[in-house]
Amino acid sequence: MPQHFINKTISIIGLGYIGLPSAAAFAARGVKVIGVDVNQETVDIINQGKIHIVEPELDMVVHAAVTEGYLRATTIPEPAEAFLLAVPTPFRDGHEPDLSFIEAASKSIAPVLKKGDLVILESTSPVGATEQMAAWLAAERPDLSFPQDMGEESDIRIAHCPERVLPGHVLRELVENDRVIGGLTGKCSEAAVALYKVFVQGECIVTDARTAEMCKLTENASRDVSIAFANELSLICDKLDIDVWELIKLANRHPRVNILQPGPGVGGHCIAVDPWFIVNKTPEESRLIRTARLVNDSKPHWVEAKVDTAVAAVVAKTGRHPSSVKIACMGLSFKPDIDDLRESPALEIALRLADKYPEQIYVVEPNIDALPAELAKRGARLSTQTEALEIADVVVMLVDHKGFKERVPVLRDGALLVDTRGIWR
């Protein structure tokens, strides 16, 4: 471990999907970590050596860190040598970034800051947020000097270092991924590199704070635009009666083409959010990024219309009443093999269908034990695959879970398939 952080304490503010694994990664290297979260229940669970989120292997690492005394959680910040803010940055109505969690976290650590401390913003943030955080801290602590006023001579060092880990692979990616580090000054960056070198094996690449902020937004906007291209192709191919998945496979044989996969839309709390931070700052210039967001956001409506067409076809063929048509929704999570339903297009589609076809929806989601209340309330039920496929007239494939991909079932006679993932077609 770099000498710099031996016998020092690191405080992580926000013990969610990024903060808790980061706290565990520092603690596993023998650094004393104080985790801070506003939620007392989260703090209590962690202090029992348990976790409140689903992430492979995290439970073992947190359990070891807590029982060996390297990680402790609290609701009230305590003095430390480095503070790492990993709080949410959602958007408000009109896609306006909501920095209130960063503001609250900054104000909560300000009273315990002392000369020589390092403050790092890890939350994915609009350009300028790190400078804003520095301004909030400076306003709270006029007795300390900050880099925006004193440059390299400042008492406090400040940097932005966005997280880039993939849910489901967080512990490995935290260690192996390269990190982009944007200090407000050179010394700020140096201090941040020394901190991350405690556990990061990837390269720590130094830039300024605004470039680091934009870099993270660019990564997710780039993926969003690529997925929008695939989703748009799926609409075009549907009109032209071409199998989009075969088309993409063939086009990807070209050495310089790498098209992503269409789906029911883009979910999760990152890719569907972060591009708006760019659009919000530079609306005139961000035409492609905005359009990609709109293309991806409109895909669930297109899928819903496809299901309506299938229901109408069943009715036309059998003469049955539409209210007797049963629909199986295969998968609810925002991507395969996780239990995370946040901003899931599959859930959005299931909810719309349940509104329109009450008591007719059978949901198959192997990663959850109970349906979200909003879906159950609409009369949808959680089923096994066997039960749902025995009864369904229309099957909607929404999430390419491993189990669904590995065993392609034979649908019952007359059943119609709407396959948004191209795995049962």
Residues forming the active site: 216, 270
Quick check: 392 binds ligand SAJ (CB under 6 A)?
A: no
Closest CB to ligand SAJ among residues 227, 328? 227
Instruction: Retrieve residue 225's tokens.
Output: 């635009």
CA gap 364, 331 in Å, rounded: 6
**Which residues does 100 contact at the CB level (< 8 Å), separation at least 6?**
none
In this structure, the strands spanning 9-13 and 394-397 are unpaired
For residue 167, the minimal CB distance to ligand SAJ (Å) is: 5
CB 423 within 8 A of CB 408: yes
Radius of gyration of the chain (CA): 24
CB 296 within 8 A of CB 266: yes
Considering only residues 253 to 312 of the shown chain, the ones binding ligand SAJ according to CB under 6 A are 260-261, 263, 266-268, 270-271
Size of the site for ligand SAJ (CB under 6 A): 20
For residue 372, the minimal CB distance to ligand SAJ (Å) is: 17
Closest CB to ligand SAJ among residues 387, 419? 419
CA gap 257, 251 in Å, rounded: 7
For residue 268, the minimal CB distance to ligand SAJ (Å) is: 3
- Among the residue ranges 45-53, 102-110, 163-171, 359-367, the one whose residues contact ligand SAJ (CB under 6 A): 163-171
Closest CB to ligand SAJ among residues 123, 360? 123
What amino acid occupies position 16? G
CA gap 13, 35 in Å, rounded: 6
Where do we find the tokens 């967080």? 170
Cα 385 to Cα 167, 362, 389, 397, 415: the distances in Å are 26, 9, 6, 12, 14
- Among the residue ranges 44-52, 160-168, 285-293, 377-385, the one whose residues contact ligand SAJ (CB under 6 A): 160-168
Cα 150 to Cα 145, 146, 185: the distances in Å are 6, 6, 10
For residue 166, the minimal CB distance to ligand SAJ (Å) is: 5
Quick check: 334 binds ligand SAJ (CB under 6 A)?
A: yes
Q: How many CB atoms lie within 10 A of CB 17?
A: 22
User: Among residues 87, 174, 227, 415, which is the contact residue for ligand SAJ, using CB under 6 A?
Assistant: 227
Quick check: 165 binds ligand SAJ (CB under 6 A)?
A: yes
User: Among residues 32, 141, 157, 164, which is the contact residue for ligand SAJ, using CB under 6 A?
Assistant: 164
Quick check: 326 binds ligand SAJ (CB under 6 A)?
A: no
User: Among residues 77, 167, 182, 422, which is the contact residue for ligand SAJ, using CB under 6 A?
Assistant: 167
For residue 365, the minimal CB distance to ligand SAJ (Å) is: 14
Based on the number of CB atoms within 10 Å of its own CB, is 30 exposed (0-12), middle (13-18) or buried (19 or more)?
Answer: middle
DSSP 87-121: ----B-GGG-B--HHHHHHHHHHGGG--TT-EEEE
Closest CB to ligand SAJ among residues 6, 166? 166
Closest CB to ligand SAJ among residues 138, 292? 292
Which H or E element spans position 383? none
Quick check: 161 binds ligand SAJ (CB under 6 A)?
A: no
DSSP-derived letter for residue 153 is: G
Closest CB to ligand SAJ among residues 126, 263? 263
User: Among residues 63, 187, 223, 381, which is the contact residue for ligand SAJ, using CB under 6 A?
Assistant: 223
- Among the residue ranges 113-121, 158-166, 276-284, 380-388, the one whose residues contact ligand SAJ (CB under 6 A): 158-166
User: Among residues 42, 106, 220, 383, which is the contact residue for ligand SAJ, using CB under 6 A?
Assistant: 220
Helix axes 209-240, 274-281, angle to 10 degrees: 110
CA gap 230, 138 in Å, rounded: 46
For residue 253, the minimal CB distance to ligand SAJ (Å) is: 17
For residue 147, the minimal CB distance to ligand SAJ (Å) is: 26
CA gap 43, 229 in Å, rounded: 42
- Among the residue ranges 60-68, 145-153, 164-172, 369-377, the one whose residues contact ligand SAJ (CB under 6 A): 164-172
Chain contacts with ligand SAJ (rule: CB under 6 A): 124, 163-167, 219-220, 223, 227, 260-261, 263, 266-268, 270-271, 334-335
